[in-house]
Amino acid sequence: MKKLLSALCISLLALSVSAALADEKEDDEKKKKPTAAERRAEIDQVAKETLAELFEKSKRAKELNDKAAGWAVFDNTRVTFIVTGGGGAGVAVDKNSGKRTYMKMGTGGLALGIGAQKYQVIMFFETAEKLANFIEHGWKAESGANAAAGTAGANAGTGFIEGIAVFQITEAGLMASADISGTKYKVDKKLNE
């Protein structure tokens, strides 16, 4: 009986999530699709606001940015329902030349739980070579370590690991050395034309 009730609850929840996503997709299709220039401007604005929020919350992040050859900011949404998947867009910036490369990301895997989460990932690249490699060859984050949110957690022990420092801002706050495993990053050809 318990198994039957559990199966029914999961089925109803799956139908609810599917209906909500279908309604959201229909609403999105009714909206005018932004041009590439409008999309780049949106990404740049999110990056500017995200960096400002990060520097306000973490002195260490500002120090790492000052030492970095470049940075990248991604705005992401992750949806979990037994499997997890998500995607987003961002920009990588070479601090020396000011060149901006627009990128996209995708994530997937297995997870317990149900829900959706919006978050931003911020990366600082220690050298121009690390930044260029990230842009030219993409990157697949195989593993990462979660850190507690808060001022002490966001400032303590955060640094370049293999030439990259990663922060994540969620609705819960700032995460240092965030877990971004299972995430792939690559250049968005349409936004860079």
Q: How far is CA 51 from CA 72, 101, 124, 133, 174, in A?
A: 10, 17, 11, 22, 12
pTM over 0.75: no
pLDDT of amino acid 159 = 82
pLDDT for residue 172: 72
Token digits of residue 172: 């819960």
User: pLDDT value at position 145?
Assistant: 34
Condensed to tens digits (0 to 9), the pLDDT of residues 117-131 reads: 688 999 999 999 999
Question: What pLDDT score does 150 carry?
Answer: 36
User: What does pLDDT average to in each consecutive run of 10 residues of the chain (193 residues)?
Assistant: 43 43 54 89 96 94 96 82 74 97 81 68 95 86 40 54 88 60 84 91
Mean pLDDT of the chain: 75
pLDDT value at residue 87: 82
* Contacting residues for 109 by C-beta, under 8 A, at least 6 apart: 83, 84, 181, 182
Task: Name the nearest CA neighbour of 124 among 60, 186, 43.
Answer: 60
**CA atoms of 64 and 62, how far apart (whole Å):** 5
